[in-house]
Amino acid sequence: MSVPPIKRLLREPLLHFVAIGALIFLVYVAIGDARRAPANLIIISSQRIDQLSTQFRSIWKRSPTRKELDSLIEGDIREEVYYRMALALGLDKNDAIVRRRLRQKMEFLTETGAYLQEPTVDELKAYYSANKKAYLRSARLSFEQIYLGKFPDPKIIARALKVLRSDPARAPSTIGKRTLLPAELSLSLPNAVDGTFGRGFFKQLSKLSPGIWSGPVRSGFGVHLVRIKNVVSARTPPLQKIRDAVLRDWKYAKAKERRELDYANGASASLSRYTGAAFNRRQIGDAVDFHGSGLSGRCFGLCRSIARPCTSARLSGTSPDR
C-alpha cells in the first residue's frame, strides 16, 4: 500500500529540521524585540538609580528620601531629553567645550592603558640611565653669616675677619650690624638660599672653604662674612632608592608617547579620508531639520511613570546611545 505524498513529506527529517530552525528564529526575534527599548523610550535602569543615590550620598552624607530620589530621576530624564534634542539640532558640532571634553576623554582612555603597563627591569634601568639628570639632587649647605652693611669700609671687613679667625668661639652677634636676615641657615637648597639673600648668593658660598670665616660675600642687601658649617654635594640617588619616582615618570612618558602615536594615526587616517573626499559646500552648511527628526515641542510633555526596577519616559524621536 502506497503512502500519500503529504504524509511522506511530513515524515522527512529535513522538513523537521527546517521547522524547528524557523521556530527558534521566531522565538529569538520575539525575545530580541521585547528586550530592545523602543526608539522613543528613555530607560532609567535600577543601576542608574543606584548611581544617582550614590552621588547624593557622597554630597549630603545621607540617603535621599523618596521625594528627593524622584526629583533626581526627573532631572536625569530632563537631561536625556535635552541631550537628544541637542543632538538632533547638531548642537554638538563646532562647539569648543564639547570638542575639548571629547578630546579629554580620548586622551584619558589612551593614557589609562599606558598607566596600566609595567616595565621590565631592563626597561626601567634604561629609562633611569637616559634621564639621570632629572633625578640629580642639588647641593645643600648650612652656614652662619654676619651682616656688615651695604658699603662697609674695607678696613672694617679686614678687622672683623681677623677677630673672628683669631677667636672662633666669639659670638657673631657681637660683630656687625643689626638685620632681619637670619644669622644662620640649616642645610638648604640653592633656591632657598638665593630666595633669602638674593640671586647668586649660593654660588658664592659654594666656593668657600667650610669651617672658617670668609668674605666679603655680597648679597642683594649688602656685604656679609660667612662661615660654612656643612656641605652636601650634588648627587644622583641609585635607582633602588627612587624606584617609585622613576616608575611614575616612565609611565607618564609611555602615556605621552602613546597619546602622540594615537594622534598621529588618527590624523593620518583623517587626512587620507578627507583628501580623497569630494566636499559639497552646500551639504556641509545644511541645517538639521528639527521637525523632520521627529523631535518637536512635544518633547517637553513627558509621559512619565515611576516604577522599580526602572523608570521610563516616552519621547517622540530617536534614542541615541549615551
Pairwise CA distance, residues 63 & 295, whole Å:
36
**Do the beta carbons of residue 221 and residue 147 sit within 8 Å?**
yes
Sequence-distant (≥ 6) Cβ neighbours of residue 98 within 8 angstroms = 92
Taking the CA atoms of 48, 50, 54 and 57 in sequence, report the sign of the dihedral they define.
positive
pLDDT at 313: 47
C-alpha cell at 46: 535600577
pLDDT at 161: 93
pLDDT (mean) for 251-269: 83
pLDDT 10s digits, 53-106: 999 999 999 999 999 999 999 999 999 999 999 998 999 888 999 999 988 888
DSSP state, residue 218:
E
The residue behind cell 626597561 is 123
Pairwise CA distance, residues 236 & 139, whole Å:
11
Instruction: Give the model's confidence band at 142: pLDDT under 50 very low, under 70 low, under 90 confident, else very high.
Output: very high
pLDDT at 202: 96
**Domain boundary assignment for the chain:** 5-36, 137-232
- What is this structure's pTM? 0.48
DSSP state, residue 201:
H
pLDDT value at 266 more than 50: yes
- Domain 137-232 listed as CATH 3.10.50.40: yes
pLDDT at 8: 62
pLDDT at 29: 55
Pairing outcome for strands 311-314 and 213-218:
unpaired
Phi, psi angles (nearest 5°) of residue 170 = -65, 140
Report the Cα 22 to chain-centroid distance in Å.
53
Pairwise CA distance, residues 309 & 248, whole Å:
43
- Mean per-residue pLDDT over the chain, rounded: 79
DSSP states along 6-39 = HHHHHT-HHHHHHHHHHHHHHHHHHHHHHHSPPT
C-alpha cell at 173: 652677634
pLDDT 10s digits, 166-195: 888 888 888 889 999 999 999 999 999 999
Pairwise CA distance, residues 24 & 16, whole Å:
12
| Among 204, 201, 165, residue whose Cα is nearest residue 182 | 201
Q: Which has the higher per-residue pLDDT, 216 or 266?
A: 216
| Among 50, 42, 82, 45, residue whose Cα is nearest residue 69 | 50
